[in-house]
């Protein structure tokens, strides 16, 4: 769950906060938002998805990343913490004042929705991710019911489909996620 945003931060102040804190903070056009907190279902889904992606991508050029890996979007600039991400031939932006390397080329981003973040995840955050040239698949995962919204970009056009059971094919990664495994251990 994201806390209320703190306005009017410079990038330098944001980087100092990130360096001094054990929490994850997103930076959005001068606004800083704490990304800690959540539910057991959220953590379980996040862990399940990362685990499945790691297994599916093993031995290939793509790598799965956890919620602790920040993603840089060239919009504003913005530094975001998705619940999981995947990059092929991963590239990181490193700056001396930045306490963490920022992933700059995710092809897949995953967000586990909550009542507090779902509007932002579906709207403005999606738009921020779209500024990343390699980004072409977005998963929005419900935590109160078995439902995943799978956004996919094909020839520059984004389209969505809802998946509630069976297998979810990730086109850009040539792999699949089993819906039952995404929700393994989650009480709905």
The percent of residues above 70 in pLDDT, for the chain, comes to: 91
CB 7 within 8 A of CB 31: yes
Q: 39-182 has which fold?
A: tt1808, chain A (3.90.1570)
Q: Give residue-wise pLDDT tens across range 161-175.
A: 999 999 999 999 999
- At residue 20, the pLDDT reads 84
Coil/strand/helix, residue 53: helix
The whole-model pTM stands at 0.89
**pLDDT, tens digit, for every residue of 85-138?**
999 988 887 666 555 688 999 999 999 999 888 999 999 999 999 999 999 999
140: which strand partners? 111, 149
Q: List, edge to edge, every strand of the sheet that includes 84-88.
A: 62-65, 84-88, 106-112, 137-141, 148-154, 157-163
What is the spatial distance between Cα 131 and Cα 109, in angstroms, rounded to a whole number? 13
Place of tokens 């973040």: 117
pLDDT digits (tens, 9 = 90+) for 141-152: 999 999 999 999
């Amino acid at each position: 769950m994201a806390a209320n945003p703190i306005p009017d931060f410079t990038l330098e102040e944001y980087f100092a906060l990130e360096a001094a804190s054990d929490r994850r903070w997103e930076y959005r056009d001068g606004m800083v938002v704490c990304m800690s907190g959540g539910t057991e279902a959220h953590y379980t889904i996040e862990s399940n998805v990362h685990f499945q992606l790691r297994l599916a991508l093993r031995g290939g050029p793509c790598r799965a990343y956890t919620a602790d890996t920040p993603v840089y979007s060239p919009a504003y600039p913005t530094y975001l913490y998705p619940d999981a991400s995947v990059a092929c031939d991963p590239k990181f932006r490193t700056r001396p004042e930045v306490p963490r390397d920022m992933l700059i080329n995710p092809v897949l981003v995953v967000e586990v929705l909550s009542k507090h973040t779902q509007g932002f995840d579906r709207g403005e955050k999606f738009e921020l991710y779209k500024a990343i040239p390699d980004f072409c698949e977005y998963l929005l995962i419900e935590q109160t019911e078995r439902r995943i919204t799978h956004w996919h970009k094909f020839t520059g056009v984004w389209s969505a489909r809802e998946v509630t059971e069976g297998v979810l094919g990730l086109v850009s990664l040539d792999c699949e996620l089993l819906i039952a495994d995404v929700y393994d251990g989650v009480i709905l």
